[in-house]
């Protein structure tokens, strides 16, 4: 099954060729939803020029030659040269029924690609911040969507687990003892641990000296130091996993592929880049200069490959990620779901990898740019006291807000059900807010707005599903089994059916463009279309049994589409709300 607009496109193309001959083959008529009909064809303007004819004549020729079989009930010229097309009710109804009986709801399976996705990437012994929250949520939605489209997704959690701070962190761990409360705090409040280590480093010359010596030992692979580093890593894993399970994110320990996993590759990469003449020595460091990458006063910006102290930079590790994902994981397409501020860094990494032959033309590599999460003052989100936000607190707060709402709205529900609804709604609200704005724009973190039951929010969509579920509970029917024929007569029914049929196209687009917000926009429109349908068209109290059954099928398809769509975004849907 195809979306109505996509189904119509070939018919319009054939009409153009039939009317004007081979000359216009390949002309791409723009079809888009219209206020006056279901779609408007916008081909005439551009073609009129090319053919030296009046736009309205061209439009008329399309109408005359349009052979769309059962698909179209009316086509007419409108305005300066548009063609307004109305889909046939019977065709729409058939397609909607086909969607309802299709387990994939009209989402086609695509030619399988191997797609590593780099997302989340928090740092060991550090608090995850709202920036990590957003890459985690968006990355996970993309992973779910691409998997659903039939691809082999390989999650790559590029955890920050290496580098100079680990000297100080390991030394602090050694001092407090691995089994102490001070160490265990990493599992719940890693910042407390980090700050304590930092404090010692800044105030004690002796500690700082030991911390520096510790870095050298770590890099030299000293077994005891590595063991302590591993202990710290394990404590952090507990913390990450707590956040992931709270969020309902699909990342597991098997997806951890932190910076340290590339340690053994870095020396070889440096050598290779040098041998290939890509990297050069500059004031003791090994760097890559790339044409076109310049900073202030046109000064070339280097990508640091090896620092003058022999340490490897963030850039080297990222070149290693590209190489690994292409050569070992056999990637066809690679996504880096990372902050927008790292755009230049990534472009230099890609370009370096291309030149070195690590990234062949056939592999597509893409930066899914993540914008910032801001406070109400439009600055990076902080607590009122100015301290960085604790992510788990933020999530707890969202769930508490949702709990207060549900306690007020549904006091009759059992306590544990209310707790479960509050969890789904609170977490769903935060996730949906992250997903519903385009990933590269900044947005203001505002719990009240996220949790609102109106507007393009998670709770609004969850509520829409709960409302439909209650219709089926009342009727005593399983929505999965509802497959009575659909008859479209009322405008509300038609509009709903048309919207439902766009689902497959939208999901494909989200996968292609890496833009989950398009699915949010779609689901919001679907919920609105359902709302108007439900206002105009009684379902359980419909005039006759055939209409009642038909409307129940539309309700069932709407429910399944909303639930499936939200699931692709990683948002759960409660039975009641
Ligand atoms: N750990 C880094 C941070 O917290 C993000 C790493 C992103 N991924 C990457 N391949 N560079 O800022």
320 Cα: distance to centroid of ligand 1 (angstroms): 14
135 Cα: distance to centroid of ligand 1 (angstroms): 10
Instruction: Select from 364, 353, 338 the least CA-distant residue to 290.
Output: 353
User: What is the span of the domain harbouring residue 36?
Assistant: 4-87
Ligand 1 atom closest to 342 (CA)? 11
The residue whose C-alpha atom lies closest to atom 9 belonging to ligand 1 is 158
The whole-model pTM stands at 0.95
Q: Is residue 175 part of a domain?
A: yes
Sign of the C-alpha dihedral, residues 557, 562, 563, 569?
positive
Tell me whether strands 152-156 and 279-282 are parallel, antiparallel or unpaired: unpaired
297 Cα: distance to centroid of ligand 1 (angstroms): 29
Domains identified in the chain, total number: 2
Q: State the Cα–Cα distance between residues 524 and 459, nearest whole angstrom.
A: 11
Q: Is residue 524 part of a domain?
A: no
Q: What pLDDT score was predicted for residue 429?
A: 98
CB 121 near ligand 1, within 6 Å: yes
Tokens of 110: 């695509």
Q: State the Cα–Cα distance between residues 556 and 277, nearest whole angstrom.
A: 62
Q: State the Cα–Cα distance between residues 92 and 4, nearest whole angstrom.
A: 8
CB 123 near ligand 1, within 6 Å: yes
In order, the DSSP letters of 528-564 are HHHHHHHHHS-STT-SSHHHHHHHHHHHHHHHHHHHH
Q: State the Cα–Cα distance between residues 535 and 557, nearest whole angstrom.
A: 17
442 Cα: distance to centroid of ligand 1 (angstroms): 18
Q: What pLDDT score was predicted for residue 383?
A: 65
Q: State the Cα–Cα distance between residues 89 and 85, nearest whole angstrom.
A: 12
Q: Is residue 29 part of a domain?
A: yes
160 Cα: distance to centroid of ligand 1 (angstroms): 7
CB 261 near ligand 1, within 6 Å: no
- C-alpha to C-alpha distances, 469 to 555, 574, 577, nearest whole angstrom: 9, 10, 10
149 Cα: distance to centroid of ligand 1 (angstroms): 27
Q: Is residue 127 part of a domain?
A: no
Provide the β-strand partners of residue 246. none
Residue 34: give its domain's CATH number: 3.30.1360.70
What does DSSP assign to residue 355?
H
Ligand 1 atom closest to 346 (CA)? 11
Phi and psi at 39, nearest 5°, equal -140, 160
Tokens of 4: 């109505």
Q: Is residue 197 part of a domain?
A: yes
If you count DSSP H runs as helices and E runs as strands, how many of each does the chain have, helices first? 21, 13
Among 120, 121, 240, which is best to mutate for testing ligand 1, by the most ligand atoms less than 8 A from CB? 121
Q: Is residue 50 part of a domain?
A: yes
H-helix or E-strand containing 72? strand 72-78
Among 160, 258, 319, 367, which is best to mutate for testing ligand 1, by the most ligand atoms less than 8 A from CB? 160
CB 431 near ligand 1, within 6 Å: no
CB 319 near ligand 1, within 6 Å: no
In order, the DSSP letters of 113-176 are -EEEEE----BTTS---HHHHHHHHHHHHHHHHHHHTT-EEEEEB--B--STHHHHHHHHHHHH
344 Cα: distance to centroid of ligand 1 (angstroms): 14
98 Cα: distance to centroid of ligand 1 (angstroms): 44
418 Cα: distance to centroid of ligand 1 (angstroms): 37
CB 338 near ligand 1, within 6 Å: yes
409 Cα: distance to centroid of ligand 1 (angstroms): 42
167 Cα: distance to centroid of ligand 1 (angstroms): 19
Ligand 1 atom closest to 159 (CA)? 1
**pLDDT tens by residue, the chain, 577 residues:** 568 888 898 899 889 899 888 888 877 778 888 888 899 988 777 788 888 888 899 899 999 999 988 999 999 999 888 999 999 999 999 999 999 999 999 999 999 999 999 999 999 999 998 889 999 999 999 999 999 999 999 999 999 999 999 999 999 999 999 999 999 999 999 999 999 999 999 999 999 999 999 999 998 999 999 999 999 999 999 999 999 999 999 999 999 999 999 999 999 999 999 999 999 999 899 999 999 998 888 889 999 999 888 888 889 999 999 999 999 999 999 999 999 999 999 999 999 999 999 999 999 999 999 999 888 888 877 766 666 678 888 999 999 999 999 999 999 999 999 999 999 999 999 999 999 999 999 999 899 999 999 999 999 999 999 999 999 999 999 999 999 999 999 999 999 999 999 999 999 999 999 999 999 999 999 999 999 999 999 999 999 999 999 999 999 999 999 999 999 999 999 999 9
45 Cα: distance to centroid of ligand 1 (angstroms): 48
Give the SS3 label for residue 43.
Answer: coil
CB 325 near ligand 1, within 6 Å: no
- Of all residues in the chain, what percent are helix, strand and coil, respectively (each to 5)? 55, 15, 30
Q: Is residue 17 part of a domain?
A: yes
Q: What pLDDT score was predicted for residue 499?
A: 96
Exposure pattern of 217-244 as b/e (b: 16+ CB <10 Å)? bbbeeeeebeebbebbbebbbebbeebb
Find where tokens 């909303």 sit: 562
The residue whose C-alpha atom lies closest to atom 4 belonging to ligand 1 is 122
Q: State the Cα–Cα distance between residues 486 and 178, nearest whole angstrom.
A: 65
223 Cα: distance to centroid of ligand 1 (angstroms): 26
CB 117 near ligand 1, within 6 Å: no
247 Cα: distance to centroid of ligand 1 (angstroms): 20
User: Which of 87, 105, 132 is a domain's end point?
Assistant: 87
User: Which of 249, 273, 294 is a domain's end point?
Assistant: 249
The residue whose C-alpha atom lies closest to atom 5 belonging to ligand 1 is 121
Ligand 1 atom closest to 132 (CA)? 4
* Burial of 474 per CB tally in 10 Å (0-12, 13-18, 19+): exposed
Helix-helix angle 491-500:517-536, to 10 degrees: 160
CA trace torsion 313, 315, 318, 322 (10° rounding): -130
- Is residue 528 within 8 A of residue 455, CB to CB? The reply is no
User: Which of 249, 272, 295 is a domain's end point?
Assistant: 249
H-helix or E-strand containing 504? helix 503-513
- Is residue 490 within 8 A of residue 542, CB to CB? The reply is no
Find where tokens 């910042």 sit: 191
Q: Is residue 105 part of a domain?
A: no
Q: State the Cα–Cα distance between residues 72 and 65, nearest whole angstrom.
A: 13
Tokens of 444: 């203001």
* Burial of 119 per CB tally in 10 Å (0-12, 13-18, 19+): buried
CB 118 near ligand 1, within 6 Å: yes
Among 155, 322, 338, which is best to mutate for testing ligand 1, by the most ligand atoms less than 8 A from CB? 338
- Is residue 186 within 8 A of residue 236, CB to CB? The reply is yes
Q: State the Cα–Cα distance between residues 313 and 345, nearest whole angstrom.
A: 11
């Amino acid at each position: 099954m195809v979306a109505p607009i996509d189904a119509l496109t070939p018919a319009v193309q054939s009409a153009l060729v039939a009317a004007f001959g081979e000359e216009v083959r390949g002309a791409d008529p723009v079809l888009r939803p219209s206020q006056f009909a279901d779609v408007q064809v916008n081909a005439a303007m551009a073609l009129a020029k090319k053919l030296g004819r009046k736009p309205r004549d061209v439009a008329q020729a399309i109408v005359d030659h349009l052979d769309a079989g059962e698909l179209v009930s009316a086509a007419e010229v409108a305005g300066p040269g548009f063609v307004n097309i109305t889909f046939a009710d019977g065709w729409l109804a058939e397609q909607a029924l086909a969607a309802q009986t299709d387990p994939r709801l009209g989402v086609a399976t695509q030619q399988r690609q191997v797609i590593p996705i780099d997302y989340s990437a928090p740092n060991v012994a550090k608090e995850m911040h709202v920036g990590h929250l957003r890459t985690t949520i968006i990355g996970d939605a993309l992973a779910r969507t691409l998997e659903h489209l039939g691809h082999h997704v390989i999650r790559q959690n590029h955890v920050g687990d290496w580098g100079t701070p680990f000297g100080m962190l390991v030394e602090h761990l050694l001092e407090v003892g691995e089994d102490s409360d001070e160490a265990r705090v990493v599992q719940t409040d890693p910042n407390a641990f980090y700050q304590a280590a930092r404090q010692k480093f800044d105030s004690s010359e002796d500690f700082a000296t030991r911390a520096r010596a510790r870095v050298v030992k770590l890099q030299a692979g000293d077994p005891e130091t590595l063991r302590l580093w591993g202990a710290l890593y394990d404590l952090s894993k507990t913390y990450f996993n707590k956040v992931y399970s709270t969020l309902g994110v699909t990342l597991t320990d098997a997806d951890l592929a932190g910076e340290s996993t590339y340690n053994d590759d870095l020396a070889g990469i440096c050598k290779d880049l040098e041998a290939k003449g890509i990297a050069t020595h500059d004031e003791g460091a090994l760097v890559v200069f790339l044409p076109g990458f310049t900073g202030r006063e046109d000064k070339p910006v280097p990508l640091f490959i090896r620092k003058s102290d022999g340490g490897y930079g963030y850039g080297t590790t990222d070149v290693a990620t590209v190489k690994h994902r292409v050569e070992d994981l056999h990637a066809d397409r690679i996504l880096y779901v990372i902050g927008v501020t790292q755009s230049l860094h990534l472009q230099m990494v890609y370009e370096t990898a291309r030149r070195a032959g690590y990234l062949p033309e056939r592999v597509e590599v893409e930066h899914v740019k993540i914008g910032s999460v801001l406070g109400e003052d439009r600055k990076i989100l902080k607590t009122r006291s100015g301290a960085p936000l604790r992510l788990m607190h933020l999530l707890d707060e969202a769930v508490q807000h949702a709990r207060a709402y549900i306690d007020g709205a549904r006091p009759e529900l059992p306590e544990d059900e209310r707790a479960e609804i509050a969890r789904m709604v609170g977490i769903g609200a935060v996730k949906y807010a992250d997903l519903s704005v385009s990933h590269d724009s900044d947005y203001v973190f505002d719990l009240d707005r996220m949790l609102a039951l109106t507007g393009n929010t998670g709770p609004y969509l969850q509520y829409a599903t709960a409302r439909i579920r209650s219709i089926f509970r009342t009727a005593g029917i399983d929505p999965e089994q509802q497959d009575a024929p659909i008859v479209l007569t009322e405008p509300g029914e038609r509009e709903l059916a048309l919207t439902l049929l766009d689902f497959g196209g939208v999901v494909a687009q989200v996968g292609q463009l890496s833009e989950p917000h398009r699915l949010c926009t779609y689901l919001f429109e679907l919920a609105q279309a359902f709302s108007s349908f439900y206002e105009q068209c009684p379902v359980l109290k419909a005039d006759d049994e055939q209409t009642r059954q038909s409307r129940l099928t539309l309700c069932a398809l709407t429910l399944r589409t909303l639930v499936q769509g939200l699931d692709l975004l990683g948002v759960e849907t409660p039975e009641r709300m």
